[in-house]
Structure 1
Amino acid sequence: MMRGASADAYAAAAAVLPGTGDLGRVGQDLFGTADLLRSEPGLRRVATDVSLRGEAKADLLRGVLADKVSPEALEVIATAVTQRWTSGRDLSDALEQLGVVATVRSTGGDAGRLEDEVFAVGRLVQANPELRDALSDPARSRSDKADLVEGLLGDKVLPATVALVQQSLSGSHRTVAVALGAYQKIAAEVRGEGVATVRVARPLADDDRQRLAGALARTYGRDVHLNVIVDPDVLGGIRVEIGDDVIDGTVSSRLDDAGRRLAG
């Protein structure tokens, strides 16, 4: 989350992010620029140097990126470098986040499906040690890992999902799974939603999902996207985590409470 001057800078750059057009291309261009700034510390220092005029920095980036990125992405980048950032890292992080926003917008009415797919891939990575190791192996090139993702997901998911999973390989987050979790939260914010992790002993029926989503929406004042995890440790009942709130109505929790009361 951006703070202080960086929050204002992010808002200024986000204001010129297009809502229509080839948003998939815009997202890829912003991802590429974020990666470039991370790999070129000299360029990053100049782009965030508060002693330089904003327009001079924008002209520099326009020269570096001319014919390499779309005009729409270049406008976002140029606006971003004219702003004041709390730290040099915040600029590249902001461009990556805006790339995620553009990628989510590129899916149109499939944004909810994108959220589900990103969550599912994150769970797959966490549950599969071989895949997790392959995607984090420093001996493998990022291109090789991206090809692995393409081969694994291919036409099984939205192109935008593949794009986000491939971006999660950039190393901007501690792990691929952490990156995907952050991307899903951004996707939810784009749709004006919250995100709830729901743990149950068995899959929820559609009616039960709708009732739960409706109850959470009434409680939190906005729609809530449900990440449902079937967890045998739950035994029965349901556990909901949304932000810092935990609603634990599982059988195991009730048994623990009963045991504490008896012990007391």
Structure 2
Amino acid sequence: MRAGKLARRYAQALAELAAERGLLDPVQEQAQLLAGVLDEEPTLLMELDDDRIPREERLGRLRELFGERFSPLFYHFLRLVLEKGRATLLPEICAEVPRAIDRLKGVVEADVVTAAPLAEEQREAVRTRLEAITGRAVRLAVREDPGLLGGVVVRLGDLVMDGSVATRLKRLEDRLKLGRSGTGEMG
């Protein structure tokens, strides 16, 4: 099984357990905290993955670092990940946890690409429109791409809505070419 798919399964399982216990927000925060520390301290991940170090010692290291900031549920989850020899997946699992929680809450993420920064009112208008289309709560991930010229491109799962100037110009060009070929002109 691919690492990404496996990380998504672990994250989904953690999110479901957190939902049963009413711990969605704390577990999401704990996953983000762990991800940040693993990013800053890559040697920690190597230590957690080292089977020569007893599992309890590796868990003890996490308890030293995080103490009460991690819930018993999160520690239990980490124990399982270490038991299964999946410590190297922890950064990916932690990155997937917010998406798994969003799925449980019925929230979808929309990637929005614009040529220029969006004002807060514009962001809200895009979010409102997407929520009307999907019937679900939408979280926007907005980024700028100056190469876009203008307009907006929205990716919502497999759906892509391309309202960029470049795409509109390409459509216009295609229609003009079709129009010319339909009049008998050589082109």
Q: Determine whether 1:31 maps to 2:37.
A: yes
Whether 2:4 is the aligned partner of 1:90: answer no
1:69-100 Cα deviation digits (max 9, x unpaired): 31352732234323664845235643x448x8
Q: Work out which structure has the larger RCO, using CA pairs closer than 8 Å and 6 or more positions apart in sequence.
A: 2
Matching residue's letter, 1:42: D
SS in 2 for 1:217: helix
| Aligned mate of 1:195, from 109, 114, 117 | 109
Aligned to 2:173: 259
In structure 1, C-alpha distance between the alignment counterparts of 2:139 and 2:37, rounded to whole Å:
25
Cα distance in 2 for residues equivalent to 1:206 and 1:65: 40
Q: Percent identity?
A: 26
Pick one of 6, 10, 16 that aligns with 1:6.
Answer: 10
8 Å Cα contact 1:196/1:242 also seen in 2: yes
Residue-by-residue CA offset, 1:129-160 (whole Å, 9 max, x unaligned): xxxxxxxxxxxxxxxxxxxxxxxxxxxxxxxx
Rounded Cα–Cα distance in structure 2 between residues aligned with 1:192 and 1:86: 31
C-alpha contact 1:237 1:249 (8 A) present in aligned 2: yes
Kindly name which structure, 1 or 2, has the bigger radius of gyration based on alpha carbons: 2
Structure 1 position 249, deviation (Å): 1.9
Residue 214 (str. 1) matches residue 132 (str. 2): no
Residue identity opposite 2:70 in structure 1? A
What stretches of structure 2 of length at least 5 have no aligned partner? 179-187
Deviation at 1:216, TM superposition (A): 0.2
Aligned 8 A contact 1:34 1:92 in 2: no
Is 1:69 aligned with 2:73?
Answer: no
Q: 2:164 aligns with which of 234, 237, 250?
A: 250
Whole-angstrom CA distance in 2 between matches of 1:38 and 1:263:
59
Gaps of 5+ in 1: 48-58, 102-184
Q: Alignment partner of 2:161: what SS?
A: strand
CA RMSD of aligned residues (A): 4.5
User: 8 Å contact 1:13–1:80 — kept in the other structure?
Assistant: no
Query: What TM-score comes out, normalization by structure 2 length?
Result: 0.56
Change (3 A) 1:35 1:9: farther
Conserved in 2, the CA contact under 8 Å of 1:6 and 1:90? no
Q: Distance in 2 between matches of 1:19 and 1:194?
A: 17
Q: Which amino acid aligns with 2:128?
A: G
Aligned residue pairs total 165
Deviation at 1:248, TM superposition (A): 1.3
Could you state the TM-score of these two structures normalised by the residue count of structure 1?
A: 0.44
Quote the offset at 1:240 in angstroms: 1.8
